[in-house]
Amino acid sequence: MIKAIISAVTGYVPEEVLSNQDLERIMDTSNEWITTRTGIKERRIMPSDKAVTYIGTRIVQDLLKKSNTNPEEIDMVICATCSGDFIMPDSANSICYQSGLTEAFGFDLNAACSGFLFALHTASQFIRSGTYQKVIVIGAEKMSAYMNYEDRTTSILFGDGGGGVILEASTDSIYGIVDAVLKGDGSGYRYLNIRGGGSLHPLTEESFAAKEHYLYQDGKRIFKRAIRGMYEAIDEVMKRNQLENDDVDWIVPHQANDRILSSVAEHLNYPYEKVMNNIAKFGNTSAGTIPLCLWEYEDQLKKGDGLMLTAFGGGFTWGALFLRWAY
Ligand code: UT7
C-alpha cells in the first residue's frame, strides 16, 4: 500500500517585527492584555511589495535545497492561503513558475486557518492513489494586508509567514499520514470573513468606506467553537484508529490563542508541554501556523513520532490529521 510521508519541512517569516509595544503606540491596548488573553508577544509583517507568492517561492526553494530534490521531480503544489497575491490567478501557479518547477502544476486551497490541514489531506490522496509521487504543500499568508489597525480586538492577533512540506510516496507501512477528519459548517461565514473585493461585494467606494476590505472576526463567538471543534476532531481520529494519548507524541495545533491550546489539551487530558506552541513569536498566521510549528520543532521530532495536527478557522472549517513522522 502506498502512503504519503513528509520528507522535508521548512518555514519562512519576514524580518519586520510588530511587537505588542509597537501596537500600544498605535491603538488603545496593552502588552499585558495581549499577552494574558492570547499568549502573543510579537508577529511578523511582510513588506508592501511582497506577498504570498514570495513566501511560497522562498519555501519551495528551501525545501528543494534541504532535501536535494531537483525541481523537475515535483508533480504538484498546493498552496493553502486566504490572502493570495491576487483574487485571480492563484498563487500556487506563480510559485511553480518562480521556483522553476517545470513539471508541476499548482492550485490554491482556501480553508482559512484550516487550509494547511485540508491541503495536506488532499495531497495525500493524490499520492495514495498513485497519481503523483512528490507534492509540495504550503501554508502561507500575508494577513497584515487585511488588518484594520483601528480594530484592537482582531488586528492584534494576526501576522505574516508560512511553511511547507514535501510529501512523497512510500511503501513503508509504518510512517506517513494515517487518517484525517475534516469538517465544515458554512453557517459560520458571518462570524469570520473578508467580504469586500469578492464577487458579492466588489470593491466600491461604499464597501471601502464600510471597511469591508478588512478581516472581520467575532472572536468571542469563535473561541468556544474552536476549542470544541479541535478536541472533538482529535477524539474522532483517535477512536477510529484505536489511539491512546501515549500514541500521540505531539499535538500540532493551529495557533490562534494560547488559551485555546491549553483548553484543548485539558479536554483531552493531554500534557500541555507536548502541544507545539510558537504563538508568542508569530501570532496567528492562519494557514501558516501548522507548518511553522513543524519547522520550529523539527529538531525535536524522532522517526516514528505520532503527530496529531488540528485546526479551526473561517468557514467554519476544522479537523484533525494523524501522521507518523518519517525521519
Ligand atoms: O484563527 C481563526 C479562529 N479564530 C480564533 O480561534 C479566535 C478566537 N477568539 C479569541 O482568541 C478571543 O476571543 C480574542 C482574543 C479575539 C478576544 O479575547 P476575549 O477574552 O474573548 O476578549 P473579549 O472580546 O471578551 O473582550 C474582553 C474585554 C472587552 O472589554 P470590556 O467590554 O470587558 O470592557 C474588550 O473591549 O477586552 C477588551 N479588549 C481589549 N483590551 C485591550 C478587546 N481587545 C482588546 C485589546 N486590548 N487588544
Residues 187 and 297 in one domain: yes
Q: Evaluate whether residue 71 is within a structural domain.
A: yes
From 82, 254, 257, 293, active-site residue? 254
From 96, 113, 121, 277, active-site residue? 113
Q: What is the pTM of this model?
A: 0.97
| Domain count of the fold of the chain | 2
Identify the domain boundary among 174, 203, 222. 174
Atom of ligand 1 nearest to the CA of 29: 47
Confidence of residue 274 (pLDDT cuts 50, 70, 90): very high
Task: Say how far apart CA 216 and CA 289 lie, in whole Å.
Answer: 19
Q: Is the pLDDT of residue 165 over 90?
A: yes
**Average pLDDT for residues 287-316, to the nearest whole number?**
98
Q: Which residues line ligand 1 (CB under 6 A)?
A: 29, 33-34, 37-38, 113, 152-153, 156, 219-220, 222-223, 226, 256-257, 260, 284, 312-313
Taking each helix axis from N to C end, the angle separating 52-67 and 91-98, rounded to the nearest 10 degrees, works out to 50
Q: Evaluate whether residue 285 is within a structural domain.
A: no
Residues 115 and 221 in one domain: no
Residues 181 and 308 in one domain: yes
254 given a catalytic annotation: yes
Residues 110 and 157 in one domain: yes
Please name every residue paired with 80 in a beta bridge, in sequence order, or none if there are none. 109, 139
Q: Evaluate whether residue 69 is within a structural domain.
A: yes
Q: Is the pLDDT of residue 251 over 90?
A: yes
Query: What is the domain-level CATH number for residue 81?
Result: 3.40.47.10
Residues 232 and 95 in one domain: no
Residues 22 and 164 in one domain: yes
Distance of CA 196 to the CA centre of its chain: 23
Taking a C-beta distance cutoff of 8 angstroms, is the pair 272, 262 a contact? Answer: yes
Give the pLDDT confidence of 5-19 residue by residue, as tens digits. Answer: 999 999 999 999 999
Q: Evaluate whether residue 281 is within a structural domain.
A: no
Residues 72 and 101 in one domain: yes
Residues 221 and 266 in one domain: yes
